Structure 1
Amino acid sequence: MSSVGDAYQFVFRGLLTEEALDRAGRRARDVTGRLDSEYAEKLSLDLLDEELVAAARRMATVYTAIAAFENSARDLVVSTMIESKGEHWWGSVKADVRNRAEARMENEAKHKFHAQRGDAPLNYTDLKDLLNIIRANWDAFEAFLPSPDWTSSVFDAVERSRNVIMHSGQLGPRDVERVGIHLRDWVTQVGA
């Protein structure tokens, strides 16, 4: 996207999509952070140590925010790359990013008994891979992001906290606040 008009068109299409999803019956957001009681029962959560469950529930809220952020970053990459390169944009991505994602996708496909991350290679990328795509196609992203370095700082900070949570660690209040600041900055910047 090279002009302000293109950016407005992109945002307007996004708003129309949101409206269409709402009209089609999209469920309202649930950001309460409560665990679904049906899942808790299936997981025998009541049999586990109460303190550990309480700590994990606090981190589940942070995980929810980080997962939504990661998926919004993927959505931005997909929509921007389609706009810039067309429907077959994935072929223009650097080979190392493509190969890593496609290898993960192939590996998961072998396990047919288990849910997959998604049906597109981009679902198998890390934040660093998204950053590589953004850097390599900066002219398409500069309408949304202030700089590749700013994007890198957001991704790096979020990923550091993500890795702690994904390996059953606990973030302290300052770390949670830091994630929140970066997520608010991201949403304010890109509107997602």
Structure 2
Amino acid sequence: MFEDAPEATKLPAKKREQLSSIPYVDATYVDELQRMLDLYASLHTLENSMRRLIEKELANRLGADWWEKAANAPLKKKHADRLEKERTKKWLPARSGLGPLYSLDWSDLISIMRRYEDVFIPIIGDVNFLHRFSDLGLLRHVIAHNGFVDDPKDYDRVNLALHDWTKQIGQKA
């Protein structure tokens, strides 16, 4: 059904054996996990490329305090709530040191780019380009919340989105 995972993302034999020994986990599950690694890497890269673009362009346009100027009240609240969670639950990995965009969700990133389309149109060419990424957000939720994707077309969809983003944005980065 799917091609084998690229060598770079293959789980080492020792790790496959370790995972297969966990209760209710078998080799089939580990095979599915193997396929998800490549998909996760693509989405992780795409999402963080979007964050870096937003931060760079809004800082250039609005200045060092771009977050205070660009974020609306709900985004600031979401960011503050997630910072508070990090402060009180110290065992959780902190994202706050990476910047406020790392506290936001995929859909929030899209909404910021749409709200500041005058900043991003010179880079993306057309605000409608973002539509494909809004749709991809639903698939991203499945992957980010440890689900499995079983339709090969969904793998194609993610890889095509990454390709399109790179082609559209890449020459201007």
TM-score (norm 2): 0.82
* Pair 1:180-2:159 in alignment: yes
Residue equivalent to 2:105: 126
Out of 72, 75, 81, the residue aligned to residue 94 of structure 1 is 72
1:10-159 to 2 correspondences below 5 Å: 32-35=8-11, 40=15, 44-47=18-21, 48-92=25-69, 93-119=71-97, 120-151=99-130, 153-159=131-137
With over 3 angstroms needed to count, the CA separation of the structure-2 counterparts of 1:185 and 1:127, relative to structure 1, is same
With over 3 angstroms needed to count, the CA separation of the structure-2 counterparts of 1:102 and 1:149, relative to structure 1, is farther
Residue 37 of structure 1 deviates from its aligned partner by 7.0
Q: Secondary structure at the match of 1:170?
A: coil
Cα distance per residue 1:48-107 (max 9 Å; x no partner): 311001101101110110001000000000000111111110001111112112212221
Structure 2: distance between partners of 1:31 and 1:65: 15
Do 1:62 and 1:176's aligned partners in 2 also have CA atoms closer than 8 Å? yes
With over 3 angstroms needed to count, the CA separation of the structure-2 counterparts of 1:171 and 1:147, relative to structure 1, is farther
**Aligned AA (1:117):** R
> Which structure 1 segments of 5+ residues have no match?
1-29
**Aligned AA (2:61):** S
**Aligned AA (2:74):** D
> Which structure 2 segments of 5+ residues have no match?
1-5
Do 1:157 and 1:179's aligned partners in 2 also have CA atoms closer than 8 Å? no
**Aligned AA (1:106):** E
Moved more, 165-174 or 69-78: 165-174
Structure 2: distance between partners of 1:72 and 1:114: 23
With over 3 angstroms needed to count, the CA separation of the structure-2 counterparts of 1:111 and 1:37, relative to structure 1, is farther
Do 2:95 and 2:103's aligned partners in 1 also have CA atoms closer than 8 Å? yes
Structure 2: distance between partners of 1:166 and 1:113: 20
Residue 31 of structure 1 deviates from its aligned partner by 7.6
Q: Secondary structure at the match of 1:112?
A: coil
TM-score (norm 1): 0.75
